[in-house]
Amino acid sequence: MPLMRIPYTDPLPAPRIIPSSAASTAGAVEALVRFLTSSPGELPAPSRARRHLTPPSAALQPSPTAPPPSAAAADDARLRERKTLLLTGAGVSVASGLADYRGTRGTYTLNKTYRPTYYHEFVARHDARKRYWARSFLGSANLERAKPNAAHYAIGELGRQGIVGKVITQNVDSFHPIAHPTLPTIELHGYLRTAVCLSCRREYPRQEFQEELARLNPPWAAFLQEMIASGALDTENPTERRRRGLKTNPDGDVDLGGGVDYSTFQYPACPKCLADPPVLANGERGIINVDANGAWLPTSTAGVLKPNVIMFGESISNAVKEAAEAAVDNAGKLLVIGSSLATYSAWRLAKQALELGLPIGILNMGGVRGEDAFFAHVDESDKGESAFRCAGPAEEILPQAVDEIEKLTGRRVNASETCANIEAVA
């Protein structure tokens, strides 16, 4: 079972742009449209062959044995009917005002000492939970104000155009389901919109949980109001935001710097477990003790609420893992957007697509982990039919690609109408 691990924090090498014309925005739009609309059956045979990728790190698991080449040929007909699968990461939410991890203004780039809370710490330690929830309490207000951007809405349009069939996202900000509720999204690393009880698994809306945190922690609530009043949350510019006293990370954490005392922060117990203590794995009934205000006390043995995201060191559930793998199996192409594939859970899906012989595209502003291997087979003459690599901003390129595809579709309709008119005149 894959664990969430701390991704590589080293800068990745600059990408090879494919085709080279995709270095300009207009060229990137043209190549992306070609990538999204060309039929996999039109590809030259070598591009369709199943490929193997040597993991860039010896720590990775060995690749499974690929089916024989005859199976690849049989897949081609099915591929033509299959839609593009998107795999998105933090880069797609940067235009919404959320920092990514390793872009030029990313968390790892600006704050070398950033250290997230690990799952095992969160589960085991009251003080780790205080620290997490305090930072999250402040960061959540910023996340609530952030909205999906043009890239998310363009993805919804690509769904309506019949180009994209599904989205897998590493993001926990819920922007995909908000922007395109009818185009299915698999949230690989969970989502921040609920808190989940570690004992009974009941989920609570994050907004309600946030209100509980505010009620239990009046000084922190006052500090948050100060932050809002200072305008630190009004700007999407991370530099300006920091100048006004606020640092946020993509997982919704606020970084307050050193010297902050989290020990006074309080968090609530699971209301369901409080009313009806659950039976624990050891067969004993759980104990939930709260203070006069309802704050969870460390004499408790159950009823701890956790953000419903996969934390570092935590496993992705088998159901989500299998759904993501099935989405790759059933896709015609894979387009990675705003991800450097630095987390293993995302990288292995791209690797699976490569081994299936799917055309792979990457739209990401920085380098991508081991990306040379994804494009090693790509011919210099390829104009986007079998591969696409662009380092431009998704929120500019995707909406233009949607418009171009609309025109292409419209042109086909107009052409047939013109033919009909000519016949009528004749």
- 419 labelled as ligand-binding? no
Is 272 among the residues that bind Zn ion (CB under 5 A)? yes
Is 287 among the residues that bind Zn ion (CB under 5 A)? no
- 390 labelled as ligand-binding? no
> Tell me, what DSSP letter sits at residue 4?
P
Q: Report how far residue 205's alpha carbon sits from residue 192's, in angstroms, rounded to the nearest whole number.
A: 9
Tell me phi and psi for residue 192, to 5 degrees: -85, -5
Query: What number of other Cβ atoms are within 10 A of residue 3's Cβ?
Result: 13
Please say if 120 is a catalytic residue. no
Give the footprint of Zn ion on residues 16-35 (CB under 5 A): none
Is 305 among the residues that bind Zn ion (CB under 5 A)? no
CA-angle at 22, arms to 20 and 27, nearest 5°: 120
Picking from 312, 376, 303, the residue whose alpha carbon sits closest to that of residue 342 is 312
Active-site choice (152, 176, 180, 189): 189
Is 270 among the residues that bind Zn ion (CB under 5 A)? yes
Cβ density class 200-213: b for 16+ within 10 Å, e for less = eeeebebeebbebb
- Residue 226 falls in which region: left (phi positive, over 0), alpha (psi -120 to 50) or beta: alpha
Q: Report how far residue 126's alpha carbon sits from residue 168's, in angstroms, rounded to the nearest whole number.
A: 33
- 273 labelled as ligand-binding? yes
Closest separation between CB of residue 212 and Zn ion, Å? 14
Our CB check for Zn ion shows the closer of 169 and 199 to be 199
Query: What number of other Cβ atoms are within 10 A of residue 289's Cβ?
Result: 14
Give the footprint of Zn ion on residues 159-198 (CB under 5 A): 197
Q: Which of 170, 194, 199, 364 binds Zn ion (CB under 5 A)?
A: 199
Contact partners, residue 321, CB within 8 Å, separation at least 6: 1, 2, 345
Taking the alpha carbons at both ends of the chain, their separation in whole angstroms is 68
Is 98 among the residues that bind Zn ion (CB under 5 A)? no
- 270 labelled as ligand-binding? yes
Our CB check for Zn ion shows the closer of 159 and 303 to be 303
Closest separation between CB of residue 129 and Zn ion, Å? 15
CA-based torsion, 76, 49, 368, 309: positive or negative? positive
Is 273 among the residues that bind Zn ion (CB under 5 A)? yes
Count of residues that interact with Zn ion, criterion CB under 5 A: 6
The span of 26-34, 148-156, 273-281, 353-361 binding Zn ion (CB under 5 A) equals 273-281
Closest separation between CB of residue 198 and Zn ion, Å? 8
Q: Assess whether the previous peptide bond of 19 is cis (omega < 30° from 0).
A: yes
Is 304 among the residues that bind Zn ion (CB under 5 A)? no
Closest separation between CB of residue 187 and Zn ion, Å? 22
Closest separation between CB of residue 303 and Zn ion, Å? 5
Residues with catalytic annotation?
189
Q: Which residues contribute to the site for Zn ion (CB under 5 A)?
A: 197, 199-200, 270, 272-273
- Binding site feature residues: 197, 200, 270, 273
Binding residues for Zn(2+): 197, 200, 270, 273
